Homo-oligomer: A and B are copies of this chain.
Amino acid sequence: MIASAGALKTLVFVLDLGGTFVFALSGALAGVKRGLDFFGIVVLSFAAASSGGIARDLLIGATPPAAISDWRYLVVALFAGTMTFFWHAAIEKVHDSVLVFDAAGLALFAVAGTQKALAFDLNPVMAAVLGMVTGIGGGIVRDVLLNEVPAVLRAEIYAVAALAGAMVVVVGYLLSLPTTAVALVGAFLCFAIRMLALRRKWQLPRVPRGR
């Protein structure tokens, strides 16, 4: 049992750094496309990977945020940024795989973010919202820095997938279900919705523009 708890902790840690890495790639690729210099690309990497978690931690009063107190997130972002700077063409070729990892990162961030917000005694509704913010905040800051309307506000089922996963965690918490099982279900639900939305090009409804 102790061994499995240790294994789980290791798994979560690996997934956390993995999610950070994939989100950092998305920031770095966007920076390359906009012609940023090396420093700008690394900043975009770190911002895309960490802004969601930083926003959550500031809002729940958990200062300094994990991404600031632990230097490993910076190293991962630096690594992703450097890789992208030199091999962006190769990374874009495996774009579809990146999207899979991105969905996994989203699932992990949404679930872990919700758990942290609940641990800080936030009310359940807002804990789910902050879980979603953990997942989508990085992409929003990335797009604002690049002077674009955040993609997550315009199209695609992305935030909704994060919110669904976060809500599973909240419902499990309210029903006192076992944490790990609930987290796995929430993460799986988020991942599945996101992957299906990508495959089938699901979109949320918009108001017709030609008003």
State the A residues within 8 Å of B (CB): 31-32, 34-41, 43-44, 54, 58-61, 63-65, 68-71, 74, 85, 88-89, 120, 122-123, 125-126, 129-130, 140, 144-150, 152-155, 159-160, 203-207, 209, 211
Contacts and interface: CB of A to CB of B under 8 A. Distances in A.
A64 B129 CA distance: 13
B153 A37 contact: yes
Contacts of A71: 123, 125-126
A89 B44 contact: no
Contacts of A64: 59-61, 120, 122, 126
A49 B146 CA distance: 22
A72 to B, nearest CB: 10
B74 A125 contact: yes
9 contacts: A36-B206, A38-B205, A40-B152, A58-B63, A59-B65, A74-B126, A89-B211, A145-B150, A147-B149
Contact of A209 (B35, B59, B145): B35
Top 4 closest A-B pairs, CB basis?
Answer: A40-B153, A61-B63, A37-B204, A71-B125
Given A68-B122, A71-B125, 11 more contacts: A34-B149, A36-B206, A37-B204, A54-B59, A58-B59, A59-B64, A74-B129, A85-B207, A88-B211, A145-B149, A147-B147
Given A38-B206, A39-B153, A147-B147, A60 B61 contact: no
Copies in the complex: 3
Contacts of A85: 207
A39 B145 contact: no
A149 B150 contact: no
